Amino acid sequence: MVFSSLTFLFYFLPITLLIYYVVPSKIKNAVICIASLAFYFYGEPKYGILMIISILSTYIHGLLIEKYPNQKKKFLISSIFVSLGFLTFFKYTDFIISNINMVVNGKIDLLRLSLPIGISFYTFQMISYIIDVYKGEAKAQKSLLKLATYVALFPQLIAGPIVRYTTIASELDERQHTVEKFSLGVRRFVIGLSKKILIANVLGDLINVFGTTSEKTVVFYWMYAIAVTLQIYFDFSGYSDMAIGLGKMLGFSFPENFNYPYISKSVTEFWRRWHITLGTWFKDYVYIPLGGNRVSKIKWIRNIFIVWFLTGLWHGASWNFIIWGVLYGVLLMIEKLGLLKRLEKIPAFFSRAYVMFVVIVGFVIFSSTDLNSALNNILGMFGIGAISIINHDTIYYLLNYLPIFILGILFSTPIIKNIVVKIKKKVPTLINFFEPITLGILLIVCVSFLVDGSFNPFLYFRF
């Protein structure tokens, strides 16, 4: 089940909210937990048990760490081994086998396991919980129900944001439910749904056309590259918006995951604005424990390489993801070694153009099925090969999709938001009147698209 489906919008969500708000406070967590497990089992009936086993393992290990402090390190290692063991087995086994076969010319059969949805996200949440308990930054959760609610919480279960236990620990015990918070949640959810349905899905149609056409041109390669860049942003940030909105409806406050990354003036700034919770996770649980930048230059370079190798690998069991991650690691290293100071001195237009060029090329690598297709797409963008600059088919698709490109570029910046904020300061009644009407229209249009069958699964479900 996904948020952008009629089943979720008209059955699961209203029924869950109705029951949640009717029952007494002391059993609200139980309602959320049961609903979250039902949500997951609906989409992953085979692997729901796997998640429950992971939760039980994390719960028991957390109690053992707190009860036996002299042996807590072995319990920490044991817990992480179990969590990463499941993730590695289901996500990376075939990748490891295929690479062994390639190196030694072997013929080991692939297992061809399907990837449990959301395993990368909920695994990181459980690891952060167990490390925080180990470090004494969080108390071990005595209630299995509350820990299960935290891990399985359906708004952020499938594709984040990666919510740390310490962020919502107090809200598992007691949280506020207000009309204002609920309305803000609805607003955020509708905005996220609109990003997904009205922009990401439409761009997805163009990407599908590009994949099937034999009439590719240089301009069409760039249209594809920009479409991919915008689609990934609106797909993933749209999901994060919906998750944050659903959290507010249930009384939770989830961390922000995106902050207009495409206006960044350096790659360093980009990664402060893109997938914020993942970047923070790697910084706090990998980079800093390795020594961060408070070590020798060689070790610092090693730390950056490890973090970005793992960042790429986390996104998928394929070399294009690893190269994508390492590419960013190298660029961040170059910026920190001196480029960053130079970027600060040049006009913002040029620094932003540099970032967007890197991001667009990076996402072409990221979204490709393999290294060969990534290389072919990049070569095509620069006219290398027997391809024309433009043709009639390209012009046709460019004219048809130009409005969505303009909207995508516009809404990937804070321009509209800033205009609305200024108007609200001067004429608050105007925004208060038109905002609910606009949100209502957007919801109706989104539902119309879903009824019409215009639907794509969330891209980050693959990870």
Identify the band that residue 245 occupies on the pLDDT scale cut at 50, 70 and 90: very high
**Mean pLDDT calculated for residue range 364-370:** 91
Of the pLDDT bands very low, low, confident and very high (cuts 50, 70, 90), residue 354 is very high
Q: How far is 120 from 87, CA to CA, in rounded Å?
A: 7
Give yes or no for residue 387 having a pLDDT over 90.
no
Measured CA to CA, the distance from residue 388 to residue 65 in angstroms comes to: 64
d(CA 312, CA 329): 10
Give the pLDDT mean for 115-125. Answer: 92
Q: Which residue has the tokens 């290692």?
A: 77
> Of 9-23, 254-268, 315-329, 418-432, which range is least confident?
418-432
Tell me what pLDDT residue 213 has.
87
Catalytic residue, candidates 177, 275, 315, 392: 315
pLDDT tens digits for 57-104? 999 999 999 999 999 999 999 999 999 999 999 999 999 999 999 998
Burial category of 402 from C-beta neighbours within 10 Å (exposed 0-12, middle 13-18, buried 19 and up): exposed
What are the DSSP E strand ranges found in 25-111?
none
Using a 10 angstrom Cβ sphere, with 0-12 exposed, 13-18 middle and 19 or more buried, the burial of residue 268 is middle
For residue 313, which amino acid is it? Answer: L
**Residue 442 carries which side chain, given as an amino acid letter?**
L
Amino acid at 239: Y
pLDDT value of position 56: 97
For residue 206, pLDDT beyond 90: yes
pLDDT of residue 11: 94
Contact 255, 274 (CB under 8 A): no
Respond yes or no: is residue 61 known to be catalytic.
Answer: no
Say if CB 206 and CB 223 are below 8 A apart: yes
The residue with tokens 């800093």 is 288
Give the contacts of 332 (CB within 8 A, at least 6 positions apart).
Answer: 267, 268, 271, 304, 308
46 vs 461: CA distance, rounded Å: 16
Q: How far is CA 2 from the centre of its chain?
A: 14
Q: What is the Cα 358 distance to its own chain's centre?
A: 19
Name the pLDDT band for 462 (thresholds 50, 70, 90). Answer: low
